[in-house]
Amino acid sequence: MMKRIIYTLLGAVVIASAACRKELGKLPENAKVDGNTILDQRTSEIALNGVYYRFAAVNSDNVTKWFEHEVPPAMFAGYIGYGYGADAAEINNNYAKSGFADIYWTSSYQLINAANGVIKGVNALDDKLFTGNRKKGILAEARFLRAYGHFKLLSFFGQWFDLNSPYGALIREDFVQVDAVPKARSSVKDSYAFILADVDEAIANAPAENKAWYATRWAAMALKMRVLMSHGQPGDYQQVSDLADSIILNSKYKPEPQTKDIFYTKGLGSPEVILGIKPQQNQESFYYVLSRQYWPGASSLYIAKTALKDLLQNDPRGAWMIGTENRYTKGTFYFLKYIKQGDAPSMLSETSYAFRLTEVYLLKAEAIVRSGGSLQAARNILKEVMGRAGVTDFSAVDNAASVNELLKQLYLEFVRNLIAEDGQEWMALLRLPSSLIQELRPTANDKIRYILPIPHSEFLYNPAIGPQNPGYQQ
């Protein structure tokens, strides 16, 4: 299987359109990458666009497939389910049996390898072939995307919560050739160091302005905030707060006055979208798209579980995010964050979101609490975020008098606000003290189950990788 994946990867950094404009369109058939593909700034831009194809997970049907970012983490956290009967990810602690491990592994390495192809090709070119600082900008965007892919792998397959663990990510810093697959995984400490180096390069040199579906230095700052929160060392939290302030005070992004408008009206035009996924042209007309799998249901159906309905019971968001009871499975409800019940899929309903300014605010508040800062300052940030969603009753936040109680309230807002966007409802849960994790998700009762097993095929074609994650069969 790995050899088949690698041949696919060789077409990742390719000419994505006949022009040099960075627009997503259908990838050419049988495209290849070789030493002559990236020749100048024009072809570098085109190749970079191929990396964004991997980030947006454009498939052979020419539609974006951000399913793995939206659905499985919300299932792991216990709030989203499969509408035709429970998936293994929803019950017990059998996250590994859900079958999601392979898609995370494959898609992340497709993205990483495509980014490596651009980095290799652009680095080989003379600076004179580029206008201004664009060579550095292209490399910075590629390194942002590589960091995103490696951090996704560390988060789902590495013991990211233990800096002393040898079970980190399988870091690939070179463009993969068929005869150069074997490589050992890195330690957790070294994985963080590699990812943060890429992120810092993106912060330094990525464009300050870009279309909402392309990376900027602000998106890189938001990614660094995520990475540092998982890294979780005392000095990290002040960095998170400083990064948040930089984004809030210096970037063009502004909070959306009404959260609902992001998903039902404005999409990527919202001033708080830092980085999103733009659907392909006419994507909404394709039958098997994700928003149709929320409503009315296709061959797959993903629904809100009772836990999410209960969490939103006295919250204004419940009125538009939770629909009627799913007729196929009692006690589950249509999940309407992206599409109104009764509507047909549209370009808006097919839009996805990687980073929003709301997450920046919530991560800042969490960092303040974890660093021993002012609980009242964190409460004020949390209430500001909730207020934009229409909430007027802040009694639970005001009554959160201890660190753990306020961390719990922050987590619940991560769920209410960021559910089914890019996995933050799951990662924010796992950052909590174990007592809170047990309270909120009793089945997440063993750190072995915080991460997935490495797919079996990797051991067949990469014997150098090392042992399987503890608790799983190789």
Each residue's pLDDT tens digit, 177-227: 765 688 999 999 999 999 999 999 999 999 999 999 999 999 999 999 999
For residue 283, the model assigns a pLDDT of 96
Q: How confident is the model at residue 474 (pLDDT cuts 50, 70, 90)?
A: confident
Residue 403 has pLDDT above 70, yes or no: yes
If asked whether residues 293 and 307 sit together in one domain, one would say: yes
CA dihedral 72, 407, 313, 93 (to 10 degrees): 30
Q: How are beta strands 302-305 and 80-82 bridged, if at all?
A: antiparallel
For residue 10, the model assigns a pLDDT of 35
Per-residue pLDDT reduced to its tens digit, 41-93: 999 999 999 999 999 999 989 999 999 999 999 999 999 999 998 877 777 55
Q: How are beta strands 352-356 and 80-82 bridged, if at all?
A: unpaired
If asked whether residues 409 and 309 sit together in one domain, one would say: no
In the three-class reduction of DSSP (H, G, I as helix; E, B as strand; rest coil), residue 132 is classed as coil
If asked whether residues 266 and 389 sit together in one domain, one would say: yes
Residue 3 has pLDDT above 50, yes or no: no
The verdict on residue 246 lying in a domain is: yes
The verdict on residue 67 lying in a domain is: no
| Count of residues in the chain | 474
The verdict on residue 70 lying in a domain is: no
Residue 268's H or E segment, with its range, is none
- Report how far residue 182's alpha carbon sits from residue 462's, in angstroms, rounded to the nearest whole number: 5
Determine the structural domain holding residue 341 and report its residue range. 286-350
If asked whether residues 316 and 403 sit together in one domain, one would say: no
* CATH number, position 357: 1.25.40.10
Q: Where are the alpha helices (DSSP H) in 173-216?
A: 188-205
The torsion angles phi and psi of 166, rounded to 5 degrees, stand at: -80, -10
Per-residue pLDDT reduced to its tens digit, 152-183: 999 999 999 999 999 999 999 999 876 568 89
Residue 240 has pLDDT above 90, yes or no: yes
The verdict on residue 378 lying in a domain is: yes
If asked whether residues 242 and 339 sit together in one domain, one would say: no
Residue in the structure block whose two tokens are 């959306």: 256
The verdict on residue 259 lying in a domain is: yes
Per-residue pLDDT reduced to its tens digit, 326-367: 999 999 999 999 999 999 999 999 999 999 999 999 999 999
- Residue 48's Cβ-count burial label (10 Å; 0-12, 13-18, 19+) is buried
Q: For 376-387, what is the mean pLDDT?
A: 98
Per-residue pLDDT reduced to its tens digit, 256-315: 999 999 999 999 999 999 999 999 999 999 999 999 999 999 999 999 999 999 999 999
Contacts of 203 (CB under 8 A, 6+ apart): 217, 220, 221, 224
Q: How confident is the model at residue 37 (pLDDT cuts 50, 70, 90)?
A: confident
Q: For 126-136, what is the mean pLDDT?
A: 97
If asked whether residues 273 and 383 sit together in one domain, one would say: yes
If asked whether residues 383 and 406 sit together in one domain, one would say: yes
For residue 53, the model assigns a pLDDT of 95
Residue 275's H or E segment, with its range, is strand 273-277
Q: How confident is the model at residue 323 (pLDDT cuts 50, 70, 90)?
A: very high
Count of structural domains within the chain: 2
The average confidence (pLDDT) of the chain is 90
If asked whether residues 296 and 416 sit together in one domain, one would say: no
Strand spans (E) along 306-391: 322-325, 332-335, 352-356
For the four alpha carbons of 119, 120, 121 and 126, in that order, the dihedral sign comes to positive
Quick one: which of 314, 323, 418 has its CA closest to 83? 323
Amino acid making up residue 397 = V
For residue 99, the model assigns a pLDDT of 66
Per-residue pLDDT reduced to its tens digit, 248-257: 999 999 999 9
